[in-house]
Structure 1
């Protein structure tokens, strides 16, 4: 099937998702626990990636290079890689599959998806929407296949040589195992792993902007985003002590903060609080399980810990943020970069000179580098992913599509002569 025809299928998938935007978004809220606007926003993200992939289907290209040999053409061609295995996490049960599936389908690949075992309803509903479009166009619904289950399914996907690319989203610990398993058979892996993201507050920053941005960055999705802000590195001149809501059913209007996804998340929250106390940290706010039905915990603000303490360097998938006082932008950048993860980081500043320090070679070492916006809430047009223990993967926009294709360097001789490259004579 030509790429533009594949793009037409993806366009129809985007429309089918638009038709189910609110009910599917509510199902995300019901099963995952994020508030309804976030659940609907997640489905909208899949729709937006479909729009991107439709355009991509008309622009997938290669390159033509000048050949050093007379009468020769040198070019690159891209072809589908085949089956893409997609293993997604509970916190984004729709959007991350959307990043992979829309782009992979435009590239000509088929998919085998293992969603999180705790969000099977969302996985089934999403797959039914996609399969219905495929079948209306005379294609097998299995072009976009779903296999529900636990770690045994993910392990089988990682081991299978029939799956040339495995896209995994989850913890760094599990991602390391996936990478080794896939690499052992010389497959490709695309990893989106943990983050220990920081907002740096320069002495020239607009504090009102910082507070509004940090609220969403720290407690959006109850701290269960890989891009959640976990460290606020604040310049001493910026009223450090000033950094000292609405909680309820995530399906209700006006709620900003819902429950955590599971008891496992609550347990991790409590274990980290115990470690904070042992290391001498002070809880400025929060630190308790909320007494109501569901997995509700208080957003927690911690002070009194050094920037390089063990608990500060650990990613806890919960709404806990550490306030750290620094004395220069250079020091703040050094602290930002010292953690093992490298996903997202933000600088709030009104100083133009600091902008380019932050973006330059001695600035942030993360895959996503922001100025005057929070660490989370990325647009789909840019590639999403991070460095170091975040895995190095890139999904969604930009040229992330190249990972879903097989690249060939092609040389065509349209003469009767056989000159060799580099002027080599073999006669």
Structure 2
């Protein structure tokens, strides 16, 4: 997109996602918007209402701050969306979102939400809850279905914004957005299957029923590595069950979150059912969690680090408030001698370095049987050394792009040092990619973004810190196993239990691995990554608190069972005490004589 300076802002048209594009007729405006309501398009010259939080999200397009980015893409002024209204931070503070593949590309400025902003969102959600909970579940499902159809309509635009904002490849971003679509399409019909039960009573003239009831206001906090898929994992089942939400967007993906929340409202979502606040984890995120102590939140759903998850669990626990915690992982992948080596290499390579290793399900410990260790490692290292790295929006066929942000890059470099401190043998990798320090298949200008080498460390043993600790980035630690029992022991030895995998063509080994591994998810002859929208997602041990995302199982996380007994007899009947006793009448018969 080739935007002119805003002081020459021309008559405009609206792209599929509402981004303002110039035509060849100029007028003088500082800021311009497009509003589409009732089929009519109109220019809005005065944005004072927007700044004061008086404009509804569906009455305005996207406010373009600048068109000076090196790639020609616009810089947008983003807002919180509270009770359907566009609002800035109450103190006016903002932060920027930048493209990690091209740091000079600023996607926009977004509110650094205050405690007051978060509380405003919570009160909006609280006010919207009774009406939304009373909305028939099939109607809620219809709105969710509308969301899925709108996501499909705008998929290409959403994919490109996700790649621009967090640096994932276009192919991976497309997968993330498709997962959000799949979640909507799955749950649109669950609105007609929000089943309870009719149960027979032990007493006459009495009926027993069970119903699912919504919890109330849900606080939603997710990481930025899956900024489309994961919030939909959380919010779609939450609102399908009749809850309302306050979503604290990932600090590194505010534009995508802003777009998605707008689409939710376009789908027919009533005001206040989903409220969006931007900001830091230590700011808006902490304010949202602290609101549990103030009685303003009935549920927290969090995806992030184990340390933060434990803190959230403690706050929720002391208030007897439900929480869903999807946390870190040191995911093992075992390679046995009977496996197809080509398949195992492909699976391990993708699990380790897809998304630059920035998935909670990325491969941590690669456990290889000693009998095939040399052959496997030769093939694996050949793949690693040929890795194509770069900006997917400018280069084809790259395996991964930059780190999600400069902060993720700094944290990765800091934690990477534990491998060498432990005495592991570095087979490949050299930290930050620069113009003077880049692998042969790096594409583009390394100085523009936050790129990392792929790293491989061998000779890792169970007593090393790097065996146990998650390192969030493109690195894999290699562990040699003596036999299957040793491999299974190693796979269970870390404090995490999110995902796992075993490559073997021995069906007994596959069975023993499935039944012996302590993990929430397992792949047989498949990688540690690749969740599907209709399967439960979550971990055990340090990877979570036992709750699950996705599929029908997630409904348990966003509802409670309400048991109702309806007395029709017109009198008090006491369970257990007024039940007629049926006596045994033994016949005078010798059954042993018949044997």
TM-score by length of 1: 0.94
* Residue of 510, 523, 535 corresponding to 1:370: 523
* Residue of 465, 479, 485 corresponding to 1:330: 485
Q: Structure 1 residue 267 and structure 2 residue 404: aligned? A: no
In 2, are the aligned partners of 1:217 and 1:228 still within 8 Å (CA)? yes
- 5+ unaligned residues in a row in structure 1: which ranges? none
* Residue of 408, 430, 433 corresponding to 1:287: 430
Alignment correspondent of 2:277: 147
Alignment correspondent of 1:420: 574
1:23 Cα deviation from its structure 2 partner:
1.0
Q: In structure 2, what is the Cα distance between the partners aligned to 1:263 and 1:120? A: 16
Which structure is larger by alpha-carbon Rg, 1 or 2?
A: 2
RMSD: 1.6
Runs of 4 or more consecutive aligned structure 1 residues displaced over 6 Å after TM superposition: none
- 5+ unaligned residues in a row in structure 2: which ranges? 1-134, 382-386, 435-445, 580-595
1:229 Cα deviation from its structure 2 partner:
0.4
Q: Structure 1 residue 5 and structure 2 residue 139: aligned? A: yes
Alignment correspondent of 1:219: 353
Map 1:36-51; keep pairs closer than 5 Å: 36-51=170-185
In 1, are the aligned partners of 2:459 and 2:480 still within 8 Å (CA)? no
Alignment correspondent of 1:250: 392
In 2, are the aligned partners of 1:155 and 1:178 still within 8 Å (CA)? no
Alignment correspondent of 2:438: none
Q: Structure 1 residue 304 and structure 2 residue 470: aligned? A: no
Bigger relative CO (Cα 8 Å, ≥ 6 apart) = 1
1:424 Cα deviation from its structure 2 partner:
6.7
Q: In structure 2, what is the Cα distance between the partners aligned to 1:165 and 1:356? A: 37
Secondary structure at 2:401's aligned position in 1? Answer: coil
Map 1:143-222; keep pairs closer than 5 Å: 143-150=273-280, 151-160=282-291, 161-222=295-356
Secondary structure at 2:452's aligned position in 1? Answer: coil
Secondary structure at 1:421's aligned position in 2? Answer: coil
Q: Structure 1 residue 81 and structure 2 residue 215: aligned? A: yes
In 1, are the aligned partners of 2:373 and 2:480 still within 8 Å (CA)? no
Q: In structure 2, what is the Cα distance between the partners aligned to 1:239 and 1:336? A: 16
Deviations 1:372-405 (A, max 9, x none): 1111111111111111111223111132112111
Q: Structure 1 residue 389 and structure 2 residue 542: aligned? A: yes
In 1, are the aligned partners of 2:333 and 2:500 still within 8 Å (CA)? yes
In 2, are the aligned partners of 1:6 and 1:57 still within 8 Å (CA)? yes
Alignment correspondent of 1:233: 367
1:183 Cα deviation from its structure 2 partner:
2.0
Map 1:88-99; keep pairs closer than 5 Å: 88-99=222-233
1:250 Cα deviation from its structure 2 partner:
2.5
C-alpha distance 270-159 of structure 1, shift in aligned 2 (>3 A): closer
Of stretches 255-264 and 310-319 in structure 1, the one that deviates more from structure 2 is: 255-264
1:68 Cα deviation from its structure 2 partner:
2.8
Q: In structure 2, what is the Cα distance between the partners aligned to 1:370 and 1:421? A: 48
Alignment correspondent of 1:351: 506
Alignment correspondent of 2:242: 108
1:58 Cα deviation from its structure 2 partner:
1.1
Alignment correspondent of 2:439: none
Secondary structure at 2:453's aligned position in 1? Answer: coil
Alignment correspondent of 2:23: none
Q: In structure 1, what is the Cα distance between the partners aligned to 2:408 and 2:354? A: 15
Q: Structure 1 residue 408 and structure 2 residue 562: aligned? A: yes
1:167 Cα deviation from its structure 2 partner:
0.4
TM-score by length of 2: 0.68
Q: In structure 2, what is the Cα distance between the partners aligned to 1:157 and 1:63? A: 35
